[in-house]
Every structure is written in structure tokens, then in C-alpha cells.
């Protein structure tokens, strides 16, 4: 069945490429060594710096029972991927591994028992690692059809950001008309998704922190913008003396205490990341310890007395460890409805080839992106970057210093 799927998917892909005015790539992007079909993939050889990443060839996976095989067109790049690379997460998987948790593409084959999908369907999907490759296989409950007018880059920017934003706002914090929200990293992918979803509810005030250079680009989506290094607690209270109803914190550290202090009675603080632990290129015990030490120790009695709620949210754990795929499916359906009504639209910062993954990661590390960074599987890398991330050298080879690369190679935002 999978073999028939490969043949039909290649025909489908060539048809789509011809409709888009492109010549089909010779060989369809996959190669054969003997009887084994291979694909390109980003491989993390071990936890650490950017030099641990390589683009190499791996055996192409085939779908198991209940799985779909997807010919990947685009992959999302998230801050959690940077933390995975550093080994800065609980119970990291063993390396080497293929990073990435979301992608978009075309269904190429169906495993036994799969219903509701056909070969040639345009889809986006969650993947429990392995997304940064030309082909992925993932269980059917993590795959969603995309509208005809949604591009593959938009689709790759959609699942993690918008599902996370929707779940926090509506499932955890119960956002309603007239409420106020503070979101950190307002210029990032989740921050922009939060701002757009807030605009679907009347009279919601959005406070946001972001680097000053991003303010002009995002000023229309956020009611009140503050510099990420400013004393935002005083700035918020100057505008709203009572504070805010919802705080969405992806930073952690001393921002936890600040966020709790800003909550109105019956307000909700949600922690959904800990990017303050990431300072250098590799994992820093000092940064981890500092961030942990700065987190305010929560007293349940104080929460009771002040009528405040504190919560955490991890989409990946909800999907892959806690079995809530059905809930996420309903949320995705609602979000697709908002997209087709043109009420929300993913903000794509820039497109990068697989071979440019190091430079893309550096851009996220530098907090230089506005919206989402996308790995475009079919994009041709620039010559200067091509050899840098391609497996051409022995393991352990010294890596050139790339500090400042993201500043030197100017990237124009990708506009849909």
C-alpha cells in the first residue's frame, strides 16, 4: 500500500508543481542506494552548540498502522527547538536525532487503518521530533487538512503558535469581552497569534513586551507596547492601575513574580516557556540556576487570599504524553474556521533552506524574528551557507565562529 502511495504521491506532487509553474525536481528530492530510499534531514549529532547540526541523508520512513507519510514542504522553527538542541529540556531524547515538531506537505502514503485522508491531500501536522526532513510519518490524529488558499509556509507556521495561543486564552484563561492580556515576546510567533486571537473578541486590551526595533512592525496588533528591557510593571499600572486579567509568560525567572503582581482579582498567570534560561549558544548551568532562583515561590494561601490563578501550559506534553489529540483537533477546526473568515493569518518572518538551519536558529537566539521562521525544504541555500550545514566533514571537526551571522546577512520579512 505504501509503495503505491509513493508512486501516486509523486504524480500528485508533479501536478501541483506544474500548476505552480515549476518544473518537477529530478528524482523528486529522494535518492536510492540499492533498494533503500533516502531523504535529506537535519540531524542533531549531540546536545550543544550550532556545530552539532548537520544536513545529511537518512533512510526514508514508511508509515506504520494508523500513520500518514507526508512529503514535507515546510517546517516550523520554534524556540523549543533551540532548547532541545542545547539539551535544555526535561528528559531529552537520545542523540543523534532529527529535531522539529511541526510541518506541512502532501500526503504520500497511508498506513493500515487510516481513514479520512487521501494521497495528495495538503496537510499540516504535529510530529514528535523528526519534522525537519523531506519525509515524515506521524499518527493520523496529529494531521490536519489545510484550506486550498493556505500556503505551505503558512501551514507550517500555524499549529504550534495558534493552538498554543488559543488554548491559553480560551481553554485555560477563559478570555471574554472587555478583558486585558499581557504577553511577553509580542513580536514572536505565539505573541502575534495571541494578538490576532484577542482581536476576535470585542474590547480586549493587549499589553506586549518586545524589542524596540519590532515595535513599528507590530504596533497595529498590540494596544500598548513596551521595550522588553523596560520596567513594564510600572508601565502597565500607569495605564491600568488594577493590572491585567491574563499574563502569558514565556520567559520565566523574575517575570513570574512580576506577572503575578500584575494580576487583577480572578486573573490568570500562565507560564508556557522559560526562554530566560537560554543566554549563550550552549546550555548554561548558571543561567538555569539564576532563572530557577528568581522564580517567586508561590504560596497557595496567598493565591487564595488574592483570588489569583497560576497555571502552566505545554502543548507538546498535552499531545504526546497526555493524550489530548481529540481536544486539539477541535481547536484546530475552530482556528481553520477563523483563518477562512480571514480573522487570523500566520505571520512568517523568513524562509530558510534546510542547509541554513544554523543561521535560522541564530536569528531566533538573537530574538531577531517578527513572527515565524520557516525551513523551506525546496529552497536552494545561498552558496556561502550550503556547505556549512551539510555533512561533509568528520565528526568533531572544529566549527567556524558564526557570531553575528544573523546581523550580517540581512533577511527581508516574508510577506504572504
- Over residues 334-378, the pLDDT tens digits come to 999 999 999 999 999 999 999 999 999 999 888 889 999 999 999
3-class SS letters over the chain: CHHHHHHHHHHHHHHHHHHCCCCCCHHHHCEEECCEEEEEEEEECCCCCHHHEEEEEEECCCCCCCEEEEEEEEEEECHHHHHHHHCCCCCCCCCCECCCCEEEEEEEEECCCCCCCCCCCEEEEECCCCCCECEEEEEHHHEEECCCCCCHHHHHCCHHHHHHHHHHHHHHCCCCCCCEEEECCCCEHHHHHHHHHHCCCCCCEEEEEECHHHHHHHCCCCCEEEECCCCHHHHHHHHCCCCEEEEEECCCCCHHHHHHHHEEEEEEEEECCCHHHCCCCCCCHHHHHHHHHHCCCCCHHHHHHHCCEEEECCHHHHHHCCCCHHHHHHHHHHHHHHHHCCCCCCCEEEEECHHHHHHHHHHHHCCCCCEEEEEECCCCCCHHHHCCCECCCCCCCCCCCCCCHHHHCCCCCCCC
| 30 band by pLDDT with thresholds 50, 70 and 90 | low
Whether the predicted pLDDT of 394 surpasses 70: no
Lowest mean pLDDT among 20-34, 55-69, 119-133, 200-214: 20-34
For residues 59 and 290, the model is more confident at 59
Question: What is the model's pTM?
Answer: 0.82
110-115 average pLDDT score: 97
Whether the predicted pLDDT of 405 surpasses 50: no
pLDDT digits (tens, 9 = 90+) for 225-272: 999 888 999 999 999 999 999 999 998 778 888 999 999 999 999 999
Whether the predicted pLDDT of 289 surpasses 90: no
Amino acid at each position: 500500500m505504501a509503495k503505491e502511495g509513493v508512486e501516486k504521491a509523486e504524480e500528485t506532487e508533479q501536478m501541483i508543481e506544474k500548476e505552480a509553474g515549476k518544473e518537477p525536481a529530478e528524482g523528486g528530492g529522494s535518492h536510492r542506494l540499492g533498494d533503500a530510499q533516502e531523504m535529506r534531514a537535519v540531524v542533531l549529532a549531540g546536545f550543544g552548540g550550532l556545530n552539532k547540526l548537520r544536513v545529511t541523508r537518512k533512510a526514508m520512513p514508511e508509515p506504520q498502522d494508523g500513520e500518514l507519510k507526508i512529503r514535507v514542504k515546510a517546517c516550523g522553527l520554534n524556540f523549543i527547538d533551540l532548547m532541545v538542541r542545547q539539551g535544555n529540556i526535561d528528559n531529552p531524547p537520545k542523540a543523534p536525532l532529527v529535531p522539529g515538531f511541526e510541518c506541512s506537505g502532501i500526503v504520500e502514503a497511508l498506513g493500515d487503518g487510516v481513514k479520512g485522508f487521501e494521497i495528495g491531500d495538503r496537510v499540516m501536522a504535529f510530529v514528535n521530533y523528526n519534522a525537519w526532513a523531506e519525509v515524515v510519518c506521524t499518527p493520523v490524529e496529529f494531521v490536519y487538512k489545510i484550506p486550498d488558499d493556505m500556503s505551505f509556509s503558512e501551514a507550517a507556521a500555524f499549529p504550534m503558535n495558534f493552538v498554543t495561543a488559543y488554548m491559553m486564552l480560551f481553554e485555560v484563561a477563559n478570555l471574554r469581552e472587555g478583558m486585558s492580556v499581557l504577553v511577553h515576546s509580542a513580536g514572536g510567533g505565539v505573541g502575534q497569534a495571541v494578538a490576532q486571537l484577542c482581536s476576535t473578541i470585542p474590547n480586549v486590551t493587549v499589553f506586549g513586551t518586545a524589542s524596540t526595533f519590532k515595535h513599528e512592525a507590530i504596533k497595529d496588533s498590540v494596544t500598548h507596547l513596551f521595550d522588553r528591557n523596560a520596567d513594564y510593571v510600572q508601565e502597565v499600572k500607569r495605564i491600568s492601575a488594577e493590572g491585567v486579567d491574563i499574563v502569558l509568560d514565556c520567559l520565566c525567572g523574575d517575570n513570574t513574580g512580576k506577572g503575578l503582581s500584575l494580576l487583577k482579582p480572578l486573573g490568570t498567570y500562565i507560564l508556557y516557556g522559560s526562554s530566560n534560561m537560554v543566554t549563550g549558544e550552549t546550555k548554561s548551568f548558571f543561567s538555569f540556576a539564576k532563572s530557577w532562583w528568581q522564580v517567586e515561590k508561590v504560596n497557595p494561601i496567598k493565591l487564595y487570599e488574592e483570588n489569583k490563578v497560576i497555571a502552566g501550559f505545554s502543548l507538546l506534553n498535552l499531545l504526546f504524553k497526555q493524550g489530548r489529540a481529540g481536544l486539539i483537533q477541535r481547536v484546530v477546526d475552530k482556528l481553520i474556521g477563523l483563518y477562512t473568515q480571514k480573522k487570523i493569518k500566520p505571520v512568517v518572518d523568513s524562509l530558510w533552506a534546510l542547509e541554513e538551519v544554523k543561521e535560522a536558529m541564530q536569528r531566533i537566539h538573537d530574538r531577531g524574528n517578527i513572527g515565524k521562521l520557516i525551513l523551506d525544504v525546496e529552497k536552494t541555500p545561498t552558496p556561502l551557507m550550503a556547505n556549512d550545514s551539510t555533512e561533509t566533514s568528520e565528526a568533531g571537526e572544529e566549527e567556524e565562529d558564526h557570531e553575528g551571522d544573523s546581523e550580517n546577512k540581512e533577511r527581508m520579512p516574508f510577506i504572504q
